Structure 1
Amino acid sequence: MSRAGRTGLTLVAILAAGAGGYWAGHRNLARPATPWLQAVAWLEGTATAPASANPAPKGPVIYYRDPDGLPAYAATPRKTADGRDFLPVHSADDLSFEDKPPAVAGAVAAAPAYGGPKRILYYRNPMGLPDTSPAPKKDSMGMDYIPVYAGEGDDSSAVKVATGKLQRTGVRSEVATQQVVVRPVRVPGTVQLDERRITIVATRSDAFIDKVADVTTGDRVKKGEPLMHLYSAEIATASAQYLSDLNEGGRASAGARQRLENLAVPPDVIAAIDRTRQVQTSITWAVPRDGLILERNAVEGMKASPGDVLFRLADVSTVWIVADVPEYELGAVKLGAAATIRVRSLPGQIFSGRVALIYPQVSKETRTTKVRIEIPNPDGLLLPDMYADVEIGSGSNAPVIAVPDSAVIDTGTRQVVILDKGEGRFEPREVKIGLQGGGVTEIRTGVAAGDRVVVAANFLIDAESNLKAALSGMTSLEAAP
């Protein structure tokens, strides 16, 4: 055969081999052993390259980890003691702080249970959407669906969370304890005079004021001190009749004495008539009680008609704090409850008292009820109409089961706490709550003393539990004939 013929046959053989390889490759046919190809190392390496290489990592590098899996991390590139580079960890990597067993070809992904592998029931959406699949798949963002194994639905209310995920999400739990729950009710108030300690100085007959003591509004006076001197014709006539009875029989009639008392003549004036046997033209009117002069209307030389207010006095040794309690807080305020008062004009000073009266009326304009607190005021520091900040204690004196406020998930229609059963197992529990105060909430039913409840990141566990219950319900419906 000529040289041209041999060359043509060689080209035909090469074309045939290429076409056969293309056809076999598209039909996944096994490649026979080719000693001549194995003799060329670089061709053999190309031909035997694995079909499914590891995909390129996605996302930015968030830190670097030890190449041997040791708990050593770095924020910037770093080398080991023997000169090897730390491995970069990208944001899209599936991180876990738990030890993972090495992958074994043909093995089931789940760990053996009861001597055999777990069976995958279905795959659920990684974002928590109500979407399941009987086969592995990805969502629209490229995230793998999460397998759900047989036996995980035995307790539909409990959920298991990996230890690494607990550390990353910041789940924290505390023990439910028995304690006294005190709920302070903070409301505004004002200082008011005790209505029972206010006195009006007035005459019961026409009188003329001869002299007024050197006192003015705001002065403090004591009982028995002279307040004013006045002349009253009616009082003088009654005094003369009383004296006449004394002189005639040596003893005054009861009617004459009663008339003087009806005219509000001070007892010491009547006693002076008995002693001196003389009628006093000008009567000295004394201060009826210790207190503060709130109003002075008496003027020397004026004529006072019956009932005219000449002086108004008040004893300020005890005052009232009248607080405005909102209608929705009224049920927490009880008679005898301790109260703490801080007056804005006296910073740093605290006054204590107790609730003496809850007024039986709600204001239509403000929807508040007035609550009266009586407190001593021996130094007279509290003045009428001062503003005050009132804190009224409420709650039961008996200890109750209580948990931190953050442990209670309130949906508006029900209240739930997450019980920590240990080893990463959690169970949502519906509860009935009571008083709240001091950062804790009373639990009336659903939790016992000593139970551990989740106080941080409990919303994440509750969402996982609700998702698990929903998926279990969907699986049951799909399995039903």
Structure 2
Amino acid sequence: MTKHFLVCLILMLGVSLGFWVGRLEVLENQDVTATGERKPLYYRHPMNPQITSPTPAKDEMSMDYVPVYAEEQVQSVQSKSGKILYYRHPMGAADTSPVPKKDEMGMDYLPVYEGELATPKQIQISPEKIQKLGVKTETVAKRTLTRSIRALGSIQVDERRIHAVTPKFEGWIQRLYVNTTGQTVKRGQPLLEIYSPELMTAQQEYLIAQQGQLAMQQGSAQARDTAARLAENALQRLHYWDIAQAQLRRLQTQEKPLDTLPLLAPVNGVVLEKPAVEGMRFMPGELLFRIADLGTVWLLAEVFEQDIGEIRSGQVAQVAINAYPDQLFSGKVGFIYPTLATETRTVKVRIELSNSEGLLKPGLYGGVTLTALGNKKTRLAVPDSAVIDSGIRQIVLLQRGEGRFEPRAVKLGLQADGYREVLDGLEAGDKVVTRANFLIDAESNLKSVLDSFDSPDAEASQAMPEAQQGGH
């Protein structure tokens, strides 16, 4: 009787206990559903998952501990089930160990399980660290690249606008009106007064011929025609000697030779040279003034030989002068010189610039920007910031998945608009790291991964890290 009573009592207690346990679970589920929040099991160190806390906390760098929930714990256990290959430095340094250990700050080394690294040639970084580094990626795509050619040069005088003032007769300078170099002159402005016996003789011959023409008014037609030709030839001779029309009219009106005659400026411009001195004697063809019209000037730019094939006459150019940093001047390619300077491997290109305001002074330095005339076809390209150039080869970091990156050697071509043409190594649609790639390099010891490309036994050796092969 007692035995049956005890059995019944135990069964009743079991049923009652099961009821209340089920009831509590229902209440907990209702509580979670009602609040919409999950309760974390614990909080872990953001840089070292081995360090945990039952309550929210901050690490030594004031970063919040990361909450860990029940389902995450199960997933973590499932994903990290398997053989531990080795232990890695908790801060990402290139340091591993075959056995558990602590770093110099007392932080535990993190275990690396089988299958955690996709391939030996890939780099894996935790999501927290990716966010901390500020990693950004961009999709590789085809673009139209417009390359700019830049060159340096200096402002020069337009050789076609230089004029020399040289008399065609012998004489003396009686008075000098323009007596300094750099002085601005206007077309038709008197430069100097000259006295010349030859001019006096030519004037007298004209006046005699003119008087003879008047005396032959009653003569025969042949005589009148001969007198007219003599007077015209004498006047034309004075004109060929650059005597101004106003002075010739004075000679015709006064009917007596002029003691001195002026020489006039042939163009608007600036006096570059002035050998003329008041009172000096000059001979036919001797230089008295050299005047340059600076309404149009040249910029002679030195273009490197690899760029010269992209330039044509008539091409628009933008010129920035050092003296005027806030201004841009527009010009055109006027001429490409036929010779190359072997010392600098450059070719001179002449840019013609309007200088109506007179700002472009000969000798000023400046830079010119030209748009290359290469074809406008689209090219596969990556941003300049995506390229890690070691000097021997160019590398990009290719994103292979969440937190996994693969260094990829590429062959690059044209550089323009902040992008580099990719000739080999990538395909359209690939994602490459454009920001923090150098930090990933430092964080993950990229050099050791890159070395695997050159080693014939890399595949086998990378499967087991250095720590397992021989110890740390």
TM-score category (smaller protein)? 0.5 to 0.7
Q: What is the count of residue pairs matched by the alignment?
A: 387
Conserved in 2, the CA contact under 8 Å of 1:205 and 1:263? no
Which residue of 2 is the match for residue 207 of structure 1? 171
**What 5-or-longer segments of structure 1 have no aligned partner?**
1-65, 74-79
Secondary structure, counterpart of 1:379 in structure 2: coil
Letter in 2 for 1:285: L
1:315 aligns with 2:324: no
1:452 aligns with 2:416: no
Conserved in 1, the CA contact under 8 Å of 2:166 and 2:285? yes
Higher helix share: 2
Query: How far apart, in 1, do the equivalents of 2:180 and 2:439 lie?
Result: 71
Which residue of 2 is the match for residue 353 of structure 1? 331
After superposition, give the CA deviation of every residue in 1:438-477 in whole Å (9 maximum; x if it has no partner): 5443434444555432112323555566645736341579
Give the superposition deviation at 1:379: 2.0
Bigger relative contact order, structure 1 or 2, given CA contacts below 8 A and separation 6+?
A: 2
Structure 1 residue aligned with 2:158, among 194, 203, 207?
194
Q: How does 1:211-290 map to 2 (within 5 A)?
A: 211-213=175-177, 217-235=181-199, 249-250=226-227, 252=229, 260=237, 264-266=241-243, 268=245, 280-281=257-258, 282-290=260-268
Q: How does 1:115-126 map to 2 (within 5 A)?
A: 122-123=85-86, 126=89
Given the two structures, how large is their TM-score scaled by the length of structure 2?
A: 0.61
Conserved in 1, the CA contact under 8 Å of 2:40 and 2:69? no
Letter in 2 for 1:229: E
Which residue of 2 is the match for residue 149 of structure 1? 114
Query: How far apart, in 1, do the equivalents of 2:236 and 2:426 lie?
Result: 76
1:165 aligns with 2:142: no
Structure 1 residue aligned with 2:384, among 381, 402, 405?
405
Query: How far apart, in 1, do the equivalents of 2:207 and 2:151 lie?
Result: 63
Letter in 2 for 1:200: A
Query: How far apart, in 2, do the equivalents of 1:451 and 1:424 lie?
Result: 15
Which residue of 1 is the match for residue 79 of structure 2? 111
Which residue of 1 is the match for residue 459 of structure 2? 472
Distance 1:161 1:258, change over 3 A: farther
Conserved in 1, the CA contact under 8 Å of 2:151 and 2:302? no
Conserved in 2, the CA contact under 8 Å of 1:341 and 1:352? no
Give the superposition deviation at 1:378: 0.8
Query: How far apart, in 1, do the equivalents of 2:270 and 2:292 lie?
Result: 5
Structure 1 residue aligned with 2:358, among 380, 392, 416?
380
Give the superposition deviation at 1:317: 0.8
What fraction of aligned residue pairs are identical, expressed as a percent?
Answer: 31
Query: How far apart, in 2, do the equivalents of 1:108 and 1:300 lie?
Result: 102
Conserved in 2, the CA contact under 8 Å of 1:404 and 1:439? yes
Letter in 1 for 2:270: L
RMSD, matched Cα: 5.2
Query: How far apart, in 1, do the equivalents of 2:436 and 2:289 lie?
Result: 68
Conserved in 1, the CA contact under 8 Å of 2:383 and 2:419? yes
Query: How far apart, in 1, do the equivalents of 2:71 and 2:309 lie?
Result: 58
Letter in 2 for 1:123: Y
Q: How does 1:411-450 map to 2 (within 5 A)?
A: 411-436=390-415, 439-448=418-427, 450=429
Conserved in 1, the CA contact under 8 Å of 2:43 and 2:66? no
Secondary structure, counterpart of 2:188 in structure 1: coil
Deviating more after overlay: 175-184 vs 262-271: 262-271
Give the superposition deviation at 1:372: 3.7
**What 5-or-longer segments of structure 2 have no aligned partner?**
1-38, 47-52, 214-222, 453-457, 466-472
1:334 aligns with 2:298: no
Letter in 1 for 2:268: D
Distance 1:264 1:448, change over 3 A: farther
Query: How far apart, in 2, do the equivalents of 1:219 and 1:157 lie?
Result: 74
1:392 aligns with 2:369: yes
Which residue of 2 is the match for residue 185 of structure 1? 150
Query: How far apart, in 1, do the equivalents of 2:58 and 2:112 lie?
Result: 27
Query: How far apart, in 1, do the equivalents of 2:462 and 2:278 lie?
Result: 100
